[in-house]
Amino acid sequence: MASLRRVKVLLVLNLIAVAGFVLFLAKCRPITAKNGDSFHDIHPRAEVANLTARGIGSIQDAVLKRLSLLEDIVYRQLNGLSKSLGLIEGYGGRGKGGLPATLSPEEEEKAKGPHEKYGYNSYLSEKISLDRSIPDYRPTKCKELKYGKDLPQISIIFIFVNEALSVILRSVHSAVNHTPAHLLKEIILVDDNSDEEELKAPLEEYVNKRYPGLVKVVRNQKREGLIRARIEGWKAATGQITGFFDAHVEFTAGWAEPVLSRIQENRRRVILPSIDNIKQDNFEVQRYENSAHGYSWELWCMYISPPKDWWDAGDPSLPIR
């Protein structure tokens, strides 16, 4: 924590120094213009314009280089948080691009126990970056749609009980990485009375340091079940819209805008994004064809083929009722 504070202080001091240097050049450099036989003082705004014309670009390059260096220092410091948990950050590594991730024969043996415990390959999950890239399977027309800047903010709520830490944190990282900052009000993690130690102090310390003020943790004192746990997350939410998700998901770019736009048009709508699949054995992202979600009379969740009028419209960007 102390080292993180030192980095933050260093960043602030460097920003102050750079700003002071630029202001010094702008205000104190004796720039004059010669018109005929006399010199005239230049207005500060004109002076800045003149400085820009003469080479402020090189100064900006130096400033940007310094800021990039400081950003890299801060990132390395934050990246150390995940390393202390035995996890990885960055966009490369195993499973990059949503491709199947693999283990060595020796690692396969170590993975058997955790796989049976969680129902997915949690050992392999720890070898996959929290920030890994995944494919964008949206139809081309969806990528071309434009949305207003005044969309409402969303509170993303994850419910979990004894989920693997790496999977929860990948969900959080993915939400932050692929939700525009001005639309993401907060992320709320609702722990429905887990008994795994790594989901207590280690989880809370990580999100508080990595995403200070953005991620909240709500802990139920007894097992409440999925729906009551969701209600506890809703009570803690402050965003205009709440989105409820399992804590084992990954988001793609552009997921939030169409959802928020549809609700902005009609606040009574309940929206479900198109959901692809993450395979439990190798974390490959598998595309699902266009479909709606619904329930059978036995209340089993099922995928429903879009109605004929949706297909006849010939526009895959249209919502499915």
Mean pLDDT computed over 128-139: 94
Q: Is the Cβ–Cβ distance between 215 and 179 less than 8 Å?
A: no
- Residue 270 backbone dihedrals phi, psi, to 5 degrees: -110, 120
Name, of 27-31, 46-50, 69-73, 189-193, the range with top average pLDDT.
189-193
Q: Tell me which of 44-48, 108-112, 210-214, 276-280 is least confident.
A: 44-48
141, two tokens: 């027309």
| pLDDT over 70 (residue 2) | no
CA 19 to each of CA 11, 59, 62: distance values in angstroms, whole numbers, following the listed order? 12, 11, 12
Q: What is the pLDDT of residues 56-80, one digit of tens each?
A: 667 777 777 666 666 555 555 556 7
Predicted pLDDT of residue 29:
45
pLDDT band at residue 19 using 50, 70 and 90 as cut-offs: low
Superfamily name and number for 146-279: Spore Coat Polysaccharide Biosynthesis Protein SpsA; Chain A (3.90.550.10)
Predicted pLDDT of residue 47:
42
CA 151 to each of CA 92, 121, 255: distance values in angstroms, whole numbers, following the listed order? 32, 37, 13
> For the whole model, what pTM was predicted?
0.75
Beta-carbon contacts of 288 under 8 Å, excluding residues fewer than 6 positions away, are 274, 275, 276, 277, 303
Q: What is the pLDDT of residues 135-168, one digit of tens each?
A: 999 999 999 999 998 999 999 999 999 999 999 9
Which residue in 94, 98, 95, 93 sits closest to 287, CA to CA? 98
pLDDT band at residue 205 using 50, 70 and 90 as cut-offs: very high
34, two tokens: 């010669």
CA 220 to each of CA 134, 190, 217: distance values in angstroms, whole numbers, following the listed order? 33, 7, 10
Task: Please report, for the chain, the start and end positions of each structural domain, with discontinuous segments joined by +.
Answer: 146-279, 289-320
pLDDT band at residue 278 using 50, 70 and 90 as cut-offs: very high
Give me the percent of the chain exceeding a pLDDT of 90: 59
